Structure 1
Amino acid sequence: MQKALASVDAAIQQLKTVRAGLSNSNSTRAEEIAQAKMQVEQAQTQAFEAMRSVLAQAILLYFLQKGVYVHSSKLGARGATGATAKFQQCAVLHMV
């Protein structure tokens, strides 16, 4: 997550640098600004995904520590063992 936030900061700094040197008659600067804006958007998306992943991990760990599992009556034919295994598999997948 720190890496994602650092990339957001770097992209924002690049955008500020490009904007500071903007000249109305220079189309190259406009292209640089467009590129920098795209990088900022990508970095923000990466940071958001990293924060969402951390939050999902925290929620899953909380429920695993509390021993909360999906009840077998909610799963039909799969049964309690399947429910527990599925929940734990989901938690492991989200934590990786």
Structure 2
Amino acid sequence: MSEAEVRQILSGWIIAASAWTFVLFGFDKWRARRGGGRVAEASLFWASALGGWPGGLLGILVFRHKSAKGSFQLKFAAAFFIWAALVYAAVRLM
């Protein structure tokens, strides 16, 4: 697999995962306002860690959701670094 193909796959993955993560953050905020069942914080974390961190960051900013919760912010930062480490490892293996 060429470097260009890997980049294309990674780009597609990040876009899809980010869109899904953004929707999760929005849905969780919507449910929080209405007192319904919430999206598990672990689901928000793993969606972010598996490539959706740009969408998660956008969700935090747009919906102002999880922005004041320091423990989640720390987990979100960890999700970013997990993803960055995975991408770095993938690039190094090429």
Q: Structure 1-normalised TM-score?
A: 0.39
Query: Which of structures 1 and 2 has the bigger CA Rg?
Result: 1
The structure with higher relative contact order (CA 8 Å, sep 6+) is 2
